[in-house]
């Protein structure tokens, strides 16, 4: 088995000994150490990867590379050599290696990871895989199945699976390291966002965390600590902390932040507060999320008034959405809000979401075309099934670019939607809550009543 590293294309070429010319006339340069060292990893979104990836297109490919099972020992040694020399990024696909669209390459990669003689690789290996869409997969259910097959606990065993969703019209792989950018058409965006989140894989490769609390009271205590800890980290790391609020019962669940130790320990002056959605009503109207948050939370903490970004309630729904997007862009330009290197959308630090009994989040409702909006940062709705009808709302690309998302769901009235979102038997029509993912951590905070049907 000969290995050559072509530094110009910066990835391994691995060919089987059976079709190599004799070593004296070998066209391959003698093996050299890679131009980087194991510790020289690079950040890819929340993942840390070697600057050089390893392409596995040939693995299992009988047609073009004459693969035979007898080669597995050599391939395992090749894999081991790559890992021992600092490679931790492997590119594969469902069509790599012959066979129907469940190619041999992914299976071999999973096998080699399991059988690597060194210490456990599970926490370090990053696998970029992809799967063919048209004309093989047309329904969300087929996408869900394809994503499920690529969950860390099934075919491959890496807890970090960066699923390349970009080239879905065919599985020509992108070079490893390209970020997961959702598909190019709203329909495809719709299918893929739904499918990857339903399969428990977020494009950032982190799985969802779900915690069930005995009561809403206990949940509120945990939510306060979670929020305060993130506030401390971001204030230390960035000098500010951007928090996005929802309406509804979420505000009540933040009440423990108003008590010691947090009321005194949190650096409130570094907080910047926005809303994931807002009703298009005057700020003093009973339906206003601003009024709800002000009366129940903001008026009780020393957050600087200039750091609280309410909508312009003098504008129409469309005008208020455009105006709020302009406000977001200003906060990005002034570095208050970061930009996601994976998606290019604004990356809020903590998004505190609620969920309706129908599985809506923000003002993104089941079956509504706004769920597929993948260009705007903020949009508007005039026919909200939850009154009042006119609202503005963040879109999913902004929601899903958040560093952290806490989804707070309490009460038996939400149990059906929770079961649909988290239960095993998932049907193909996907709820908006199932389209939520985060670039960092996405955590469900459930009380027992909301989790009663899981």
CB-CB neighbours of 308 under 10 Å:
17
Q: Is residue 356 at the binding interface for ligand 6PG, with CB under 6 A as the rule?
A: yes
Asked if residue 202 has a cis previous peptide bond (ω within 30° of 0), the answer is no
Q: Which of 42, 51, 43, 47 is nearest to 440 (CA)?
A: 47
Secondary structure element (H or E) that encloses residue 160, with its range: strand 160-163
Q: Is residue 277 at the binding interface for ligand 6PG, with CB under 6 A as the rule?
A: yes
- How does 318-329 read in b/e, with b if 16+ C-beta sit within 10 Å? eebbbbbbebbe
Q: Is 374 left (phi over 0), alpha (psi -120 to 50) or beta?
A: alpha
Whether 130 and 94 have beta carbons less than 8 Å apart is answered as yes
Question: In the range 122-151, which residues lie near ligand 6PG by CB under 6 A?
Answer: none
Computed over its alpha carbons, how large is the radius of gyration of the chain? 24
CB-CB neighbours of 302 under 10 Å:
11
Residue 129 CB, shortest distance to ligand 6PG, in Å, is: 33
Nearer Cβ to ligand 6PG (289/401) = 289
Residue 360 CB, shortest distance to ligand 6PG, in Å, is: 6
Nearer Cβ to ligand 6PG (181/348) = 348
Q: Is residue 293 at the binding interface for ligand 6PG, with CB under 6 A as the rule?
A: no
CA–CA separation, 354 and 107 (whole Å): 39
Cα dihedral: 22, 23, 29, 35 (round 10) = 120
Nearer Cβ to ligand 6PG (361/415) = 361
Residue 414 CB, shortest distance to ligand 6PG, in Å, is: 7
Residue 422 CB, shortest distance to ligand 6PG, in Å, is: 17
Q: Is residue 386 at the binding interface for ligand 6PG, with CB under 6 A as the rule?
A: yes
By CB under 6 A, which span of 38-46, 294-302, 328-336, 358-366 interacts with ligand 6PG?
358-366
By CB under 6 A, which span of 11-19, 73-81, 317-325, 354-362 interacts with ligand 6PG?
354-362
By CB under 6 A, which span of 55-63, 104-112, 208-216, 349-357 interacts with ligand 6PG?
349-357
By CB under 6 A, which span of 104-112, 217-225, 264-272, 352-360 interacts with ligand 6PG?
352-360
CA distances, 445 to each of 211, 254, 261, 296, 405 (Å): 5, 12, 21, 20, 10
Q: Which of 285, 290, 292 is nearest to 310 (CA)?
A: 290
CA–CA separation, 411 and 449 (whole Å): 5
CA–CA separation, 335 and 337 (whole Å): 5
Cα dihedral across residues 41, 43, 46, 47: positive or negative? negative
Q: Is residue 292 at the binding interface for ligand 6PG, with CB under 6 A as the rule?
A: no
The one among 205, 346, 354, 397 contacting ligand 6PG by CB under 6 A: 354
Residue 54 CB, shortest distance to ligand 6PG, in Å, is: 43
Query: Cα 347 to the chain's mean position, in Å?
Result: 12
CA–CA separation, 103 and 155 (whole Å): 11
Nearer Cβ to ligand 6PG (124/277) = 277
The one among 362, 381, 431, 449 contacting ligand 6PG by CB under 6 A: 362
By CB under 6 A, which span of 40-48, 205-213, 255-263, 355-363 interacts with ligand 6PG?
355-363
Q: Is residue 390 at the binding interface for ligand 6PG, with CB under 6 A as the rule?
A: no
The one among 320, 355, 381, 433 contacting ligand 6PG by CB under 6 A: 355
Whether 65 and 29 have beta carbons less than 8 Å apart is answered as no
Helices (H) and strands (E) in the chain, counts: 12, 19
Question: In the range 194-253, which residues lie near ligand 6PG by CB under 6 A?
Answer: 246-250
The one among 56, 196, 289, 395 contacting ligand 6PG by CB under 6 A: 289
Nearer Cβ to ligand 6PG (150/414) = 414
Which spans in 351-400 are helix H? Answer: 396-399
By CB under 6 A, which span of 92-100, 118-126, 129-137, 353-361 interacts with ligand 6PG?
353-361
Nearer Cβ to ligand 6PG (88/197) = 197
Residue 89 CB, shortest distance to ligand 6PG, in Å, is: 38
Residues binding ligand 6PG (CB under 6 A): 246-250, 277, 289, 354-356, 360-362, 386
């Amino acid at each position: 088995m000969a290995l050559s590293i072509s530094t110009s294309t910066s990835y391994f070429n691995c060919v089987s000994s059976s079709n190599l010319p004799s070593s004296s006339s070998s066209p391959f340069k003698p093996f050299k150490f890679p131009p980087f060292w194991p510790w020289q990893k690079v950040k890819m979104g929340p993942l840390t990867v070697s600057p050089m990836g390893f392409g596995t297109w040939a693995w299992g490919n009988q047609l073009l590379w004459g693969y035979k099972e007898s080669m597995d020992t050599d391939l395992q040694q090749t894999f081991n050599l790559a890992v021992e020399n600092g490679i931790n990024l492997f590119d594969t696909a469902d069509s790599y290696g012959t066979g129907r669209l469940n190619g041999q390459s992914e299976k071999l990669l999973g096998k080699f990871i399991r059988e690597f003689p060194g210490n456990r690789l599970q926490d370090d290996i990053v696998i970029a895989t992809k799967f063919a869409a048209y004309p093989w997969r047309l329904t969300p259910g087929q996408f869900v199945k394809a994503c499920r097959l690529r969950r860390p606990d099934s075919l491959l065993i890496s807890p970090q699976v960066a699923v390349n969703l970009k080239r879905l019209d065919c599985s020509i792989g992108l070079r490893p390291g390209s970020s997961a950018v959702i598909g190019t058409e709203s329909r495809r965006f719709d299918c893929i966002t739904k499918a990857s989140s339903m399969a428990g894989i977020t494009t950032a490769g982190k799985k969802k965390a779900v915690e069930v609390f005995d009561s809403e009271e206990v949940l509120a205590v945990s939510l306060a600590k979670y929020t305060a800890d993130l506030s401390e980290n971001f204030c230390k790391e960035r000098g500010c902390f951007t928090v996005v609020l929802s309406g509804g019962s979420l505000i009540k669940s933040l009440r423990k932040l108003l008590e010691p130790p947090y009321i005194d320990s949190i650096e409130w002056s570094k907080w910047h507060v926005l809303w994931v959605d807002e009703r298009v009503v005057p700020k003093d109207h009973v339906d206003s999320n601003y009024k709800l948050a002000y009366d129940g939370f903001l008026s009780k903490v020393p957050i600087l008034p200039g750091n609280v970004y309410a909508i312009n309630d003098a504008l129409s729904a469309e005008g208020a959405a455009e105006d709020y997007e302009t406000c977001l862009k200003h906060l990005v330009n002034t570095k208050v809000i970061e930009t996601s290197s994976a998606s290019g959308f604004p990356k809020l630090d903590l998004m505190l979401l609620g969920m309706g009994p129908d599985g809506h989040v923000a003002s993104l409702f089941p079956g509504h075309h706004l769920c597929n909006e993948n260009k705007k940062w903020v949009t508007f709705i005039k026919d909200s099934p939850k009154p009042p009808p006119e609202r503005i709302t963040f879109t999913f690309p902004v929601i899903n670019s958040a560093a952290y998302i806490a989804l707070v769901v309490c009460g038996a009235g939400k149990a059906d939607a929770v079961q649909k979102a988290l239960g095993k038997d998932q049907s193909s029509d996907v709820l908006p809550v199932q389209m939520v993912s985060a670039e960092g951590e996405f955590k469900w905070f459930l009380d027992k009543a909301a989790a009663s049907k899981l």
